[in-house]
Amino acid sequence: MFASMEIGRIAGIPIYLDMMFVLVLLFFTYPYFTAGNTQAVSAGFVIIVGILISILLHELGHAFAGRPFKAHVSRIELMGLGGVAHFERSLPRSVFARSVISLAGPAVNLGLWFAFDALAGQAEMAGQWMVVTPLLELAWVNKVLLFFNLLPAYPLDGGHTLDAWLGRLLGSEWSVRIIACLGIACAAWLAYISLPSNLYLLFVALSVAMTNWQKLQGLGRWHRW
């Protein structure tokens, strides 16, 4: 178990940071800190802070999108596999409300992707080469976060959005079956592209597979028509 500590509050929402999250960030940025020059170390620090802020803003997107629908977040956790916004109770039954709340996080990453990309372009034109690389890296990170979170799998935002719509059309049981099967297929694809050396992505794939398999197991046997 890794220690988790409260690092502050934003709009009354406690923010908790798991030390595993810090270790993951250091794992991805260690080439910058071992390059042997201060510019690379500075770039690595900017990337770590930028990723942390990007994931935090993603979760705050969910939190603020939920407030008009009286869906309040009790806390936000930043963990090794990303962030989680814990809602005080189940989300509203409204398909529109659930879609807005679920898609608010990826929408934040979309905005950050374009913002970091535009800032990198401005820095390049100004000849500020020190900041171009970290800004491009952060643009790429938010692009990955956007598309990853839109995958039709639990517990991702794409899965929850699809669940809202399929649940209305087919009922909750069939919605879970369809999305869980899609989630296992997504996990298999993630595992495939992680080979042979991306162990972190493989770990993410296994986590997604387990979550969706548990969803299927929770429904029990298939019912015959």
Tens digit of pLDDT at every position of the chain (225 positions): 557 899 999 999 999 999 888 888 888 888 888 887 888 899 999 999 999 999 999 999 999 999 999 999 999 999 888 899 999 999 999 999 999 999 999 999 999 999 999 999 999 999 888 899 999 999 999 999 999 999 999 999 999 999 999 999 999 999 999 999 999 999 999 999 999 888 889 999 999 999 999 999 988 765 554
Other C-beta atoms closer than 10 Å to the C-beta of 204 total 19
3-state percent breakdown (helix, strand, coil) of the chain, nearest 5:
70, 10, 20
List CB contacts of 8: < 8 A, sequence separation 6 or more: 14, 15
Residues 125/129/130/135 CA torsion (nearest 10 deg): 60
Q: Which two tokens stand for residue 94?
A: 């409204």
Note the helical H segments in 67-171.
Answer: 95-125, 129-149, 157-170
pLDDT of residue 225: 44
Amino acid code (one letter) for 204: V
CA nearest 134: which of 142, 64, 150? 142
Residue 107 CB coordination number (10 Å): 15
11 neighbors 61 (Cβ within 8 angstroms): no
Predicted confidence at residue 6, as pLDDT, reads: 93
| Token pair of 37 as six digits | 């020059």
Neighbours of 156 (CB within 10 A): 24
Longest dimension (CA), the chain: 67
Cβ neighbours of residue 225 under 8 Å, at least 6 residues apart? none
Find out whether 102 and 160 touch, Cβ atoms under 8 Å: yes
Cβ–Cβ < 8 Å for 77, 87: no
Cis peptide before 106 (omega within 30 of 0): no
